[in-house]
Amino acid sequence: MVDIGGIITDMNRFKIFDYSFKLEKHYMRLADGKRTNVALKRGDAKVYLMGSKGKQARTTLQNALYIPTYPQDIFSVETATRNGRSVEFRQDNSDLVHKNGTKQALLLEHLQGEIKGKILVDIGSGPTIYQLLSAFEHFKEVIMTDYLEVNREELQKWLKNEPGKFDWSPYFEHVCKLEGKGEPWQNKEKRLRERVARVIPVDVHQPCPLGQELSNGSVDCLVSSFCLEACSPHLEAFQKALEHVVGLLKPHGHFLWIGALEESYYLAGEARLTVVPVTEEMVRKALGMAKCIIREFRTYSMSPSMKVGVDDVSGIFFVWAQKEAC
């Protein structure tokens, strides 16, 4: 744990909050001398440091302020130096130097919102939009995709605000509450409708999954939820599908991937559909073969209360990966 302070804009990065913190008594002094109490909470947040040998480690930033209205996270040099550390600034990055001389590179991209860009593509959207409710804010253009025309039609119905569309308003309300910015959910809904540029077909089993709609190597970020393992007939096809999808990314492009662990089937009405059962080890190996660097990998076990008989999934994985440079 490092007591170096700072400002974090994402509440999900916090491990614990200090409930003795009184927001009405805490003020930030701005560059023009004005004081404002924009910090909503204080606590310990997750950050990433890198040792001199290049090994990345997740550590805890103590006494960080939660300010969701700030455009980016901020590292407090003043607090670090006050506690006996120093910071060496370089053009491409900076080192936090501890009292014993140990240096750790500050991965400033984590503190500045690294995942952003022009084009975000959702692979295998299905008829749903929940998977985009936070991610779309960081991109200028969103493209939704699905293999089935009926799913694409359902998405278009929502985008055009047509009668009979699914009501996603509770999801927007919940996400707005989680983000803690205090904005009406209707504003986020309007922005997402404006940001989605196209809804197009996708076939992950083709070398160019989006055909002529979007060329390989042109996408800044991909998201995909419960798609690749569900639409592949076997593990080899799953691996090739992953490689095809990653091919859409620019070098260093981001891949945010959610999938099922050890699931062999799920029910869709009366139909029993097969799934390629994968483990964490298999997913990690597949990403390596697809020339991806894993930045974060999390797994969650399904509690008994969530096992309601529609599948045999044992858990969920979340991956943040980056495509290697060519």
> Which of 84-108 are b and which e, b meaning 16 or more Cβ less than 10 Å from the residue's Cβ?
ebebeeeeeebbbbeeeeeebbbbe
Indicate whether this model's pTM tops 0.75. no
- Of residues 276 and 67, more confidently modeled: 276
* The last residue of a domain, from among 63, 89, 112: 112
Does 128 lie in the same domain as 97? no
Q: Are 273 and 230 spatial neighbours (Cβ–Cβ below 8 Å)?
A: yes
Domain range for 72 = 6-112
The answer to the question of residue 190 being in a domain is yes
Does 245 lie in the same domain as 124? yes
Count of CB atoms situated within 10 Å of the CB of 72: 10
Token code pair at residue 324: 């290697």
* The last residue of a domain, from among 63, 80, 112: 112
Among candidate residues 317, 220, 308, the one with its CA nearest the CA of residue 267: 308
Position 29 scores a pLDDT of 65
Position 76 scores a pLDDT of 64
Does 160 lie in the same domain as 125? yes
Q: Are 96 and 106 spatial neighbours (Cβ–Cβ below 8 Å)?
A: yes
Position of tokens 């858990």? 315
Does 283 lie in the same domain as 201? yes
Does 192 lie in the same domain as 284? yes
How many domains are there within the chain? 2
Q: How confident is the model at residue 113 (pLDDT cuts 50, 70, 90)?
A: low
**Average pLDDT for residues 82-91, to the nearest whole number?**
61
CATH code (residue 145): 3.40.50.150
User: Taking 90 as the threshold, does the pLDDT of residue 16 lie above it?
Assistant: no
* The last residue of a domain, from among 77, 112, 147: 112
